[in-house]
Structure 1
């Protein structure tokens, strides 16, 4: 099973046990058994019968604006809720020692994977301030350390990018240039995939540890995304630039810089290909997709919360 991406100008309706996607250029019959999530970009109509079958099959829908900004998600109600795990998760959040211990692991894991990505593209690695991470006494102090790590990291990314694609200053709302547009689009995809995988576990998406729990977004997905953004979002962005697949004509300037329809198609194709690559997991003694790695990471976090076992963030042996 895999995700399915729908760009603007479509009408999605139900056709027996399938989805019927109508576009100007024709119709596509999409068997429901072959997908585990749907990503919609731009103006698309989703009928009630289609929503009904998606809900019954437990398939989440993630909705983005035409510019690629994440808007909201439609999550099935029948995900694996567990009162027992919720109580444990909230207790872990309220225990400052355990909360910050887990938050530190997210920051450290992200930094390690940043270096994996930098090494992949021949950039100088960053010095990970382990002492400052470990000595942080509050989440606010830890996020300050994380911010400095990110600044140095993106500076090193720029060292291997052509001038017109350099990130310079990380700008998100809205992205200020083409480099930022790629990173922001990729990060939003990582967030959505992590959010989707959370609903396959007993974890509650609203109780987080590094980011403060909010009233709207899945703040736990923000936490876990930190580990995977360098590997998935940033690797894809840099690769598309260096292989000259993404060009200046793949962007539009409209109160910021965003990927246009052509650019999104290129990014989604590369991103999907990356997620479907496989990685050998020693503990399982078999290969799994990088998409599945996200679910396995969440199981590890759930085990830390429930059983108080040691948690070690995912980092590939080779990248």
Structure 2
């Protein structure tokens, strides 16, 4: 075993930039200990196409004696993948890589899972309902609730709801959903980030956090009681706080994470302040999972210009969390 935690990395959509950035990760960061769960022939083809000097081999084959190597836990593509061109035939391949990577982590042969970007639409068009990594991994792990959190330098945002149409959000803001999100976030900040007493700032749902009930009842009837129950158990949570003032720098210095009610309430601020440096983290799983903060970038796939910076940040975060959990 390496002194560094071993990571299982899934490149994601084979037509996107995922395979390229995994190759670049191996080339630019040989200090990392990771195995890519993917089709090794796909990786060889992309390495040749981009003239990347990376020796791609299956895990039971020897690595290169000199230069960069990429070990692969082999999963075959259904059909050859063309950069920039989606194919429903390979949707099952993407899900199979996730299943195998999760098995790798859950059996202790890897310390954490790091995922590359997938295309939700093509997976759904292939006949598999898929709303995102977060929900899919929760199903694989057999847990009822997980929490999607994005972290960037100086800011962490956890979400009560994730990939829902905006018209469905209010119905999904339930006492159980808010309370469990607060509890999971506080627990994992303690156990996986080493924050002894996490401070949480919980946003309201409505403008001005409901303006005393004049702009909606959810803040006082649902969110506030959930916060109070958590505080009664010693969790340092405050709110509901109006979202339009919550991200002021003085407020952020007083908390370790912001709990937002929905996807586009909290993430635009985080991605504005830390795009390319943000990491998507799934809290509440029985294993560590981090991911890039960008999509498949089909428009630049195949051009050899993709940047592996976000993937490296996700891998470094996974290493840090794995080390804290030891």
**TM-score between both structures, scaled by the size of structure 2:** 0.32
Of structures 1 and 2, the one scoring higher in RCO (CA 8 A, sep 6+) is 2
Relative to total residues, which structure has the larger helix share, 1 or 2? 1
| TM-score relative to the length of structure 1 | 0.32
